[in-house]
């Protein structure tokens, strides 16, 4: 008898706990239905998906496109049986592929994400921003980087400022396009690089500007990324956007491009201008020798005394130089060394006066003469590539 009583008490206790849980779940389902207007079955699915958290379940419901009355009920239209002599037409033939539940959910979620991100994220869209969401903040366009001018105007501006034009053509319903906005164009280091060396021109493929660029440069795969020479309008380098999904790969591609290409070389002279200058050059060549002064004899170069190169270790940074000939030079500097020492080292290597040397950092792009009195540490030159030229 004692054993039977104990068993009954345990069963009663378990039944009471189960009843309490069922009641709590019913309350959450009722609350979910009152907030969303959906059926109890739909409410139970969202609550189960969110671990019973009512607030999260309601948020997921509305962010995934749910609306009041979702789930619906049976139709109120009465069923009218066909007449006895009526012959029903044959059903249409369909071909379907059976997918696992996990695969189908992933496919639907990917399509839903791309559709949500594309909605309201188009350049020149008329969205009033009255219904912001987490998707808008996460995948919004990098407006602070994008040039709003037409492509030809951007080329002219880039030529005047000595910068490359980085083009990104995106497809609104392609999720990989929005991954670029979320992970690449918002990466701090890449933003600094773009602001220092590029003008960024981004458009969707469905816009007139985007379609015109695709027709002109024969773009067939999206998202498309290209670097255009503003002097000639030629696409110097292009990538498929899938290869840039990792910010580190994107940064490496941009740095490698800047290392291999430069806009410092003079633009080829038009043939008409060259022909117009020929008479003046011929007249100068026919002047009597007595009228032309003898060219000055350059003074021999006197190397500047510089300290010995330190070995690698704490407090030492390596700086790489790309010389006018294309040759590369690497040297170690102490962090407390003045930036002026870099000019002395390059001048000695080129056998010219440091005053005729110009050094430009690429990341960010700037003239090192603006920080010539700073230290290597303060100028953040450790591990950087410096472009060299003489004037």
Mind listing the pLDDT tens digit for each residue in 199-221? 999 999 999 999 999 999 999 99
The Cα–Cα gap between 225 and 167 comes to 6
Confidence of residue 59 (pLDDT cuts 50, 70, 90): confident
Strands (DSSP E) contained in 77-161 are none
Question: What mean pLDDT comes out for the span 368-380?
Answer: 93
Instruction: Pick the closest to residue 205 from 178, 249, 151, 168 (CA basis).
Output: 168
Of 4-13, 36-45, 161-170, 242-251, where does mean pLDDT reach its minimum?
4-13
Residues 208 and 273: beta-carbon distance below 8 Å: no
Task: Give the pLDDT confidence score for residue 81 in this predicted structure.
Answer: 54
- Does pLDDT of 382 surpass 60? yes
Q: What are phi and psi of 240, to 5 degrees?
A: -80, 140
Of 105-119, 135-149, 215-229, where does mean pLDDT reach its minimum?
105-119
Residues 222 and 189: beta-carbon distance below 8 Å: no
CA dihedral 341, 329, 358, 200 (to 10 degrees): -120
- Does pLDDT of 255 surpass 50? yes
- Does pLDDT of 130 surpass 60? no
Question: What mean pLDDT comes out for the span 215-229?
Answer: 94
**Portion of the chain with pLDDT greater than 90, in percent:** 32
Instruction: Pick the closest to residue 59 from 73, 47, 74 (CA basis).
Output: 47
Task: Give the pLDDT confidence score for residue 331 in this predicted structure.
Answer: 93
The Cα–Cα gap between 60 and 102 comes to 18
The Cα–Cα gap between 87 and 68 comes to 40
Residue 21 tokens read as 């849980």
Confidence of residue 178 (pLDDT cuts 50, 70, 90): confident
Higher pLDDT, residue 354 or 299: 354
Task: Give the pLDDT confidence score for residue 352 in this predicted structure.
Answer: 92
Task: Give the pLDDT confidence score for residue 256 in this predicted structure.
Answer: 86
The Cα–Cα gap between 57 and 45 comes to 9
Confidence of residue 120 (pLDDT cuts 50, 70, 90): very low
- Does pLDDT of 106 surpass 70? no
The Cα–Cα gap between 325 and 176 comes to 40
- Does pLDDT of 339 surpass 90? yes
Pairing state between β 385-390 and 316-322: parallel
Question: Is 205 in a helix, a strand, or coil?
Answer: coil
Average pLDDT of the chain to the nearest whole number: 76
The Cα–Cα gap between 29 and 42 comes to 9
375 Cβ partners below 8 Å, 6+ apart? 335, 336, 337, 338, 339
Confidence of residue 63 (pLDDT cuts 50, 70, 90): confident
Question: What mean pLDDT comes out for the span 151-165?
Answer: 92
Task: Give the pLDDT confidence score for residue 246 in this predicted structure.
Answer: 87
Q: What are 332's strand-pairing partners?
A: 318
Q: What is the DSSP letter of 180?
A: I
Strands (DSSP E) contained in 198-234 are 198-204, 224-228
Instruction: Pick the closest to residue 181 from 233, 117, 131, 132 (CA basis).
Output: 117
Task: Give the pLDDT confidence score for residue 323 in this predicted structure.
Answer: 87
pTM of the model: 0.43
Task: Give the pLDDT confidence score for residue 229 in this predicted structure.
Answer: 94
Higher pLDDT, residue 314 or 282: 314
Q: What are 47's strand-pairing partners?
A: none
69 Cβ partners below 8 Å, 6+ apart? 37, 38
Mind listing the pLDDT tens digit for each residue in 22-55? 677 888 888 888 888 888 888 888 887 767 788 8
Mind listing the pLDDT tens digit for each residue in 264-274? 655 544 444 54
């Amino acid at each position: 008898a004692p054993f039977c009583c104990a068993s009954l008490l345990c069963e009663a206790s378990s039944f009471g706990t189960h009843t309490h849980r069922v009641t709590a779940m019913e309350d959450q389902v009722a609350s979910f239905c009152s907030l969303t207007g959906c059926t109890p079955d739909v409410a139970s699915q969202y609550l189960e998906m969110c671990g019973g958290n009512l607030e999260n379940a309601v948020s997921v419901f509305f962010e995934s496109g749910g609306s009041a009355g979702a789930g619906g009920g049976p139709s109120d239209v009465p069923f009218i049986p066909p007449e006895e002599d009526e012959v029903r037409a044959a059903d249409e033939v369909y071909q379907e592929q059976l997918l696992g539940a996990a695969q189908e959910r992933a496919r639907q979620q990917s399509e839903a994400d791309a559709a949500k991100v594309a909605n309201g994220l188009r350049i020149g869209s008329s969205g009033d921003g009255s219904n912001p969401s987490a998707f808008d903040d996460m995948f919004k366009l990098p407006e602070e980087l994008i040039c709003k001018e037409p492509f030809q105007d951007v080329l002219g501006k880039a030529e005047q400022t000595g910068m490359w034009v980085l083009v990104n053509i995106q497809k609104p319903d392609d999720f990989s396009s929005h991954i670029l906005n979320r992970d690449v164009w918002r990466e701090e280091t890449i933003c600094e690089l773009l602001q220092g060396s590029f003008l960024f021109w981004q458009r969707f493929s469905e816009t007139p500007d985007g379609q015109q660029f695709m027709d002109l440069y024969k773009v067939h795969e999206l998202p498309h990324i290209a670097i255009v020479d503003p002097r000639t309008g030629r696409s110097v380098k292009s990538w498929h956007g899938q290869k840039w999904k990792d910010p580190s790969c994107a940064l490496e591609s941009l740095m490698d491009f800047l290392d291999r290409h430069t806009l410092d070389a003079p633009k080829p002279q038009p043939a008409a201008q060259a022909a117009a200058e020929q008479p003046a050059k011929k007249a100068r060549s026919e002047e009597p020798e007595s009228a032309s002064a003898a060219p000055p004899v350059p003074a021999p170069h006197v190397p500047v005394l510089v300290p010995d190169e330190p070995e690698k270790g704490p407090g030492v940074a390596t700086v790489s130089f790309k010389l006018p000939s294309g040759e590369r030079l690497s040297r170690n500097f102490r962090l407390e060394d003045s930036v002026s020492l870099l000019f002395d080292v390059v001048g000695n290597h080129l056998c010219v006066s440091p005053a005729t040397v110009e050094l430009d950092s690429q990341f960010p792009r700037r003239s090192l003469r603006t920080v010539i009195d700073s230290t290597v540490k303060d100028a953040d030159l450790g591990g950087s590539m410096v472009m060299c030229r003489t004037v």
